[in-house]
Amino acid sequence: MMTAPRMSLTLGPVLYNWPIARWIDFYNRIADEAPVDRVCIGETICSKRKPFVDEVILGTVDRLERGGKEVVYSTLALPTTKREVRDIGDMIQAGYLVEANDITTVHLLNGRPHAVGPFLNIYNEAALAVHLKLGATRVCLPPELPLGSIRAMAAGNDAVEVFAFGRPPLALSARCYHARSHGMPKDACQFVCERDSDGMDVSTIDGVPFLAVNGIQTLGYVVTAAVRETGALREAGVVSLRLSPQSCDMVRVAMIFRGLADGHTTEKEATEALGALALPGPLSDGFLRGLPGCTAEVD
């Protein structure tokens, strides 16, 4: 009986505004210790943060490649100015392997092979087929899709990646919630988002936490953990699991999912190991089970 091919692990880009020294140290450790196959790197949320990353990204990419990682340049998810669009075009023309996070970037790629991040709304087989025709070789599906939809989309191709760990990215806005919460305008934000390494928790009027804010981005409060579903995802034809960086020990997270994907770690062991980490919220697989994403329950 044929066995499903080995699932790869992708480390998504750091979504948060970490101090640049911490950012460099994080990727150096990933390069040396994390059992991930591919690393997406670059500023995807706020172009105001981008200059800090640009100053050090080439050296970091070199370190990752020397560590045996395939590197993909992840682009802005909400480019709004001509300069931002021009910067994306320059990156494409330089010949880098790019992960498109908005349809503008897909247009600029003009059929070149590329990856697609979870910010694009690809919810069915027809939409996936369009992106594959446009040159996508790897597509990370949006985190809110249930297992049944993922199974239908992964059948018959080797391009589907699933968001398997981290606070799920849900929405983007031209407004900066982080700055506004501190009484500052977006253009004079003083980079207050740096104060929240995993985003700023947001609660309902009843005091129940249910979202997190990261600059212009809204994420779930819970931490997605596709522990119970890893085997089903592999059997469905999903080729890669995406791990989204949080401030916890991401090397340990990668080791847990590597063991889980290879069948060396049980669901119970993986859940206990993840639960022992300093996570920003409770573990959840609600979306994968067709439940509300805020469902905080991973048995």
Answer yes or no: is 95 within a domain: yes
**Predicted TM-score of the model (pTM):** 0.95
Give the amino acid at 152. A
Give the chain's domain count. Answer: 1
> What's the DSSP call for residue 190?
T
32 within domain boundaries? yes
pLDDT winner (highest mean) among 205-214, 235-244, 288-297:
235-244
pLDDT at position 298, please?
62
CA angle 129, 44, 46 (to 5 degrees): 140
- The reported pLDDT for the residue numbered 1 is 42
* Separation of CA 184 from chain center: 28
Q: Is the pLDDT of residue 129 over 70?
A: yes
What's 199's domain CATH number?
Answer: 3.20.20.70
Average pLDDT of 258-284? 95
3-class DSSP string for 12-29: CCCCCCCCHHHHHHHHHH
Q: What is the 3-state secondary structure (H, E, C) of 207-269?
A: CCEEEEEECCEEEECCEEECCCCHHHHHHHCCCEEEECCCCCCHHHHHHHHHHHHCCCCCHHH
Give the integer Cα–Cα distance in Å for 275 and 283.
7
Tell me if residue 104 falls in helix, strand or coil: helix
**Mean pLDDT of the chain, nearest integer:** 94
Q: Is residue 299 part of a domain?
A: no
Question: Does residue 256 form part of some domain?
Answer: yes
* pLDDT over 90 percentage in the chain: 87
CA 50 to chain centre: 17
Residue entry with tokens 């590329």: 114
Q: How confident is the model at residue 296 (pLDDT cuts 50, 70, 90)?
A: low
> Is residue 41 within 8 Å of residue 59, measured between CB atoms?
no
pLDDT of the residue at 185: 86
Average pLDDT (262-288) is: 95
User: With 90 as the cut, is the pLDDT of residue 291 above it?
Assistant: no
Quick one: average pLDDT of 270-297? 89
Q: Which of 125-134, 146-155, 203-212, 236-245 has the lowest mean pLDDT?
A: 203-212
pLDDT of residue 230 exceeding 90, the answer is: yes
Q: Is residue 289 part of a domain?
A: no
pLDDT digits (tens, 9 = 90+) for 3-35: 557 899 999 999 999 999 999 999 999 999 999
Domain assignment present for 1:
no
Q: Does residue 273 belong to any structural domain of this protein?
A: yes
Per-residue confidence (pLDDT) for residue 187, from 0 to 100: 86
Any idea how long the chain is? 299
What is the rounded average pLDDT of the residues 29-58? 96
pLDDT at 294 over 90: no
Domain containing 26: what range? 8-284
- Confidence band for 295, pLDDT divided at 50, 70 and 90: confident
Q: What mean pLDDT is predicted for residues 254-270?
A: 96
Over residues 43-71, mean pLDDT: 95
Whether residue 291 lies inside any domain: the answer is: no
**How confident is the model over 186-193, as a mean pLDDT?**
89
